[in-house]
């Protein structure tokens, strides 16, 4: 299973991002989508799950827990809102900082795909794929052209 992981698009859905997302089984957006039109376009590609970011005025959930291919994923916008207890969670997806981060702590994979919308400061534009196959979880970082 191939899952597209994006965040912080801030009303901008780049064609390069759309191209990468084709062929994904699902898309997870970690907030600051800002416009429903972006969600609608993502849903035209494949089923998309979105959480509310600090710039979102849309009626979106603050967090999601989603099981995909026996992998339990927790999605939230700001890592300060990740609960202390993550019983059963395999992957935590978050955004907000516009900075790509990936680390494993106590058997849980934490991933911020960075921003693939508007450039913030001199940070690179990034997104990620989450591959879940045969009880194995793999992340692929995607660096975007500007």
Q: Considering the entire predicted model, what is its pTM?
A: 0.97
Residue 91 pLDDT: 98
Residue 119 pLDDT: 87
Domain boundaries, the chain: 2-143
Among 3.60.21.10, 3.40.640.10, 2.60.120.10, 3.30.565.10, what is the CATH number of 2-143? Answer: 3.60.21.10
pLDDT digits (tens, 9 = 90+) for 43-98: 999 999 999 999 999 999 999 999 999 999 999 999 999 999 999 999 999 999 99
When the pLDDT of each residue in the chain is averaged and rounded to a whole number, the result is: 96
Q: Is the pLDDT of residue 121 over 70?
A: yes
DSSP secondary structure letters along the chain: -EEEEE---TT---HHHHHHHTT-SEEEE-S----HHHHHHHHHHS-EEE---TT--S---SEEEEEETTEEEEEES-GGGS-S--TT--EEE--SS---EEEEETTEEEEE--BSSS--TTPPBEEEEEEEETTEEEEEEEEPP-
Q: Is the pLDDT of residue 99 over 70?
A: yes
């Amino acid at each position: 299973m191939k899952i597209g992981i994006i965040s912080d698009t801030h009303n901008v859905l780049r064609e390069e991002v759309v191209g990468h997302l084709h062929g994904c089984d699902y898309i997870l957006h970690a907030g600051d989508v800002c416009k429903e039109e972006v969600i609608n376009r993502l849903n035209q590609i494949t089923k998309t799950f979105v959480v509310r970011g600090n710039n979102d005025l849309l009626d979106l959930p603050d967090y999601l827990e989603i099981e995909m291919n026996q992998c339990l994923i927790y999605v939230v916008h700001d890592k300060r809102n990740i609960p202390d207890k993550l019983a059963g969670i395999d992957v935590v997806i978050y955004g907000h900082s516009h900075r790509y981060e990936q680390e494993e702590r106590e058997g849980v994979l934490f991933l911020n795909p960075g921003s693939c919308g508007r450039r913030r400061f001199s940070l690179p534009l990034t997104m990620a794929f989450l591959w879940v196959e045969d009880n194995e979880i793999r992340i692929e970082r995607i660096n975007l052209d500007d």
